[in-house]
Structure 1
Amino acid sequence: MVRPERTLLAAGALLVTLISTPAIAAETAPETLFTDVRVYDGKGDSLSAPTSVLVRGNLVAEIGDDATAGADAAVIDGGGRTLMPGLIDAHWHTMLIRQTPEQMLFGDIGLINLLAGAEATATLMRGFTTVRDLGGPSFGLKQAIDSGVVPGPRIWPSGAIISVTSGHGDFRPLSDLPRDSSKPLSRVEDLGGAMIADSPDEVRQRAREQLMLGASQIKLTAGGGVASPHSPIDVSTFTPEELGAAVEAASNWGTYVTVHAYTSAAVRRAIDAGVKVIEHGQLIDEDTAKYMAEKGIWLSAQPITHEFFGGMFPPGSDQDQKAAEVMEGTDRLYKLAKKYNLKLAFGTDVLFSEAMARQQGRMLVSLKQWFTPAEILRQATSTNAELLQLSGLRSPYKGKLGVVEEGAFADLLLVDGDPLANIDLLADAERNLLIIMKDGRIYKNTLSE
């Protein structure tokens, strides 16, 4: 029997989001020629000399002074400004940002979808043309975006977070315990936000379900978390056999498992089970950072600092204390990542806060405490794009992202200035991103005004 809540969630993302966002018409032309632009290609340390970039369809077709367009092309004079790849957030939650925890647990399904559609458009308008969704029922929203129903970023979806009983992702009230086959799924499970699994067979089944729904990678919570009510931050959750079952299911589909984990114990257990990507990692020790480097493991880190995450929870609460511990570890984590040259991705991990989501660009810019502007731009463009390709044939978009080069997807930003000289430009997308193009379509163009 199909649950009506699940049906509404999928249908709502396709249909209800039509009225959730202001109309943003995408400008389309057979070709778009950018002239007099200085290109940041997503990989280097400098801008090109003034040049031209031709977009044909949804791809970058030519780069150079001899790039020529047909008579029907739209021609944009960049005025010496910077043309760069669209930004990528490697840890985002498309369905879980504007709703509150109470709305997630008790709210109207239609409202949840309306909020997600509106936030998807806002995300794109901040210059983030691609996100890797690390938990939530984003499949319908992704379909709506891809089919042009609502403007938004490309989505690499994980589907439901897979958690153990009492783990990060288990938001059930204690009155739901003990759980047995006679009890229905919890509200969060019913919505596809998280799934509880307590054996290798259950983990394997839940992973396969997400792959069947369209997941491009599988997300597990291998250790305790901050926001979850029953999950001490020091605990390791899944057993090696359970982690291995998820890895097996994912690898059979040609993709990978990423895990939420803060501590050295949780990280090492996951790596030894075949996990390829660690989310967070703020509490790892130096030996574990070195171990990650030796094994070629990706670290998907976020600037979890007091600037952005302070004051989220009631002072003195258990969650507030856990948040303080994680924030304390962020500086050490980035320094270890630099020391051991870890494969480092950028993400933000915003949950339940539209106000914090608006700081997405500022969170990227805040990395200047540890990295040069060129290193920051690489993280959020070509490096994040490299991480996305771990999904192999499960990647939902077949082409190059995170770079400005011939044959790459035309996901482009025209910046009013040089972000290599002034990375702070990316903190204010409304003012400094003059053009936002995704898949060859222009969704913002203030030059035309």
Structure 2
Amino acid sequence: MTPATSSLTFIRQVAVFDGRRPQPVQDVLIDGPVIAAVGTDLVAPAGATVLDGTGRTLLPGLIDAHTHTTDTAQLRQALVFGITTELDMGGAPDTARRMRAAADERDDLADVRVATTGATAPGGHPCQLVELGMLEPFPTVAGPDDAEAFVAARVAEGADHLKIFIEDGTAIGKPLPLMSPETLLALIRAAHDRGLRTVAHTLTRTAARQAIASGIDGLAHAPADGTSDQALIEAAAENGVFVVPTLTTLTGMTATPAEYELAEDPRLRPYADPQWLADLEKIRAIAPEQRVGPVGVDPRHAADAAVRMFRLGVPLLAGTDGTSGHGHPTTHGISYHGELALLVAAGLTPAEALTAATAAPADAFALTDRGRIAPGLRADLLLVDGDPTQDITALRDITALWRRGARVERSAHLATQTQE
């Protein structure tokens, strides 16, 4: 489906969450790929499809601020659960370009922005996944003199932002090489000179401190190896970073991942990827210490740090670290609803969690055409029964969905999502 198939749609008397706060009941007009008008007592144009918004809430399409996307089936899975944009945080350049090109052409996929190859030291994370045959070999950064050429190569690959790994091995239980502080500074400077935002993989407090002090734009995970002291929380606020807690992937390595509850929710299960449901049953039988993923961290520490940062003004972005396979239960689409529930359980109000899912990631990554509901913006929209600003799980009850103004038929979407 392409934008050319879009048409006029008029949503009458619907509660609106505009990306920042709930608004009174309003009318909304979609004209082609954009939101044409928002207001009270609007008149439906002749020929428009009219939808009754009574008892429903209209929101911006959701943005997953941390994924790893390798095929179009994952972008379909994301979209069917209301995620209209994914922010990919690293992968093979050819795959990244192919995913972004497909999303540019098709409205039956979530849009995607890509990081391509992440920056790490020789032998640093995730080089161990190359040894296991889970990743293809990729270039690394030996020192500060390599930074300019490395970033230039990422720009040539088509990267929209730069991912930097600061991982000493805590999360996998064995020491890993780290880049020097001088190399980290040189990478961030080179990326900023080329207009790229920088995001650091940091699971520990030490790594988070180093990233913040070096001028990073955002943390791809909240520090989770212990309770963060107040100095770290204040440093994040003072230096203007954002944080993506990724609570669902941290809890995904525990004995009772949030995904089990998601898989049983009747609002979600009919649209879940059948292969993921089958894989989840296999994962149940794997002991937590044998699963691939964080083992030296605790999601409760990440939740505490993220919420404390948020209360001091740090933008909090909802992201899952969604992937698939390798004994990992976190996946595209359905897991995002678990992330939002975990953010609310950690202390955010439902409305704050919705901002973390819409306007906050759009602002953090300069996606100025989405993440809010206002005239002239992209018609990436989600209509749900109930009021998710009061009950975050109401977001699971999707009644209509638009991507770039094109209506997404969820049932047909599901029927084809595993065929690619």
Q: CA deviation at 1:210?
A: 1.4
Q: Do 1:133 and 1:157's aligned partners in 2 also have CA atoms closer than 8 Å?
A: yes
Could you tell me how far 1:27 is from its partner in structure 2?
9.4
Q: Distance in 2 between matches of 1:293 and 1:433?
A: 35
Distance in 2 separating the partners of 1:173 and 1:386: 34
The question of 1:433 aligning with 2:391 is answered no
Separation of aligned partners in 1, 2:6 and 2:35: 13
1:417 counterpart = 2:386: yes
Counterpart amino acid of residue 153 in structure 1: A
CA distance 1:82–1:309, shift in 2 (3 Å): same
Equivalent AA in structure 2 for residue 356 of structure 1: T
Hey, what does 1:104 align to over in structure 2?
none
1:144 aligned residue (90, 102, 105): 102
Which of 211, 229, 243 does residue 270 from structure 1 map onto?
211
Going from structure 1 to structure 2, the CA distance change for 1:203 and 1:318 (only over 3 Å counts) comes to farther
Question: How far, CA to CA, are the matches of 1:306 and 1:267 in structure 2?
Answer: 16
Which residue pairs with 1:110 in the alignment?
Answer: none
2:142 to 186, 198, 208: 198
Letter in 2 for 1:161: G
- 1:401 aligned to which of 359, 370, 389: 370
Post-superposition offset of 1:252: 1.7
Task: Map 1:284-295 to 2 at 5 A.
Answer: 284-295=228-239
What is the distance in 1 between the residues matched to 2:130 and 2:373? 49
Contact 2:340/2:392 (8 A) holds in 1 = no
Measured after TM superposition, the shift of residue 384 of structure 1 is 1.4
Contact persistence 2:7–2:405 (CA under 8 A): no
Structure 1 residues 349 and 173, CA, compared in 2 at 3 Å: closer, same or farther? Answer: closer
2:321 maps to 1:349 = yes
Conserved 8 A contact 1:171-1:229: no
Contact in 1 for aligned 2:248/2:338 (Cα 8 Å): no
Name the residue aligned to 2:356: 379
- Structure 1 distance, partners of 2:118, 2:169, is 13
Q: Is the 8 A contact 1:29 1:74 kept in 2?
A: no
Given candidates 78, 85, 94, the residue that maps to 2:60 is: 85
Partner of 2:273: none
Give 1:324 deviation, angstroms: 4.9
TM-score scaled by length of structure 1: 0.75
Q: TM-score, normalised by structure 2?
A: 0.80
Q: For 2:32 and 2:292, locate their aligned partners in 1 and report how far apart those are by CA, in whole Å.
A: 48
Structure 2: which 5+ runs fail to align? 256-282, 412-420
Q: Percent of pairs identical after alignment?
A: 27
Which residue in the other structure is 2:188 paired with? 247
The CA deviation string for residues 366-406 of structure 1, in whole angstroms up to 9 with x for no partner, is 211111111111111111111111xxxxx6xxx42111111
| Equivalent in the alignment of 1:207 | 151
Instruction: Describe the shift of the 1:68–1:413 C-alpha distance in structure 2 as closer, same or farther (beyond 3 A).
Output: same
5+ long unaligned stretches in structure 1: 1-23, 96-115, 176-185, 390-394
2:275 matched residue in structure 1:
none
Contact 1:35-1:53 within 8 A present in 2 as well: yes
- RMSD of aligned Cα (Å): 2.9
Residues 240 and 270 in structure 1, CA contact (< 8 A), matched pair in contact too: no
2:111 partner amino acid:
R
Counterpart residue number, 1:309: 253
- CA drift of 1:226 comes to 6.5
Residue in structure 1 matching 2:339, options 357, 363, 377: 363
User: Aligned pair in 2 of structure 1 residues 70, 346: CA closer, same or farther (>3 Å)?
Assistant: same
Question: Is this contact kept in 2: 1:33–1:69, CA < 8 A?
Answer: yes
* C-alpha contact 1:29 1:72 (8 A) present in aligned 2: no
> Paired residue for 1:162?
119
1:445–1:265 Cα change, 3 Å: closer
Q: 1:94 aligns with which of 69, 73, 82?
A: 69
Question: Alpha carbons of 1:441 and 1:172: their partners in 2 closer, same or farther (altered >3 Å)?
Answer: closer
Deviation for aligned residue 1:347: 0.9
- What is the SS of the residue equivalent to 1:410? coil
Distance of aligned partners of 1:211 and 1:359 in 2 relative to their CA distance in 1, 3 Å threshold? same
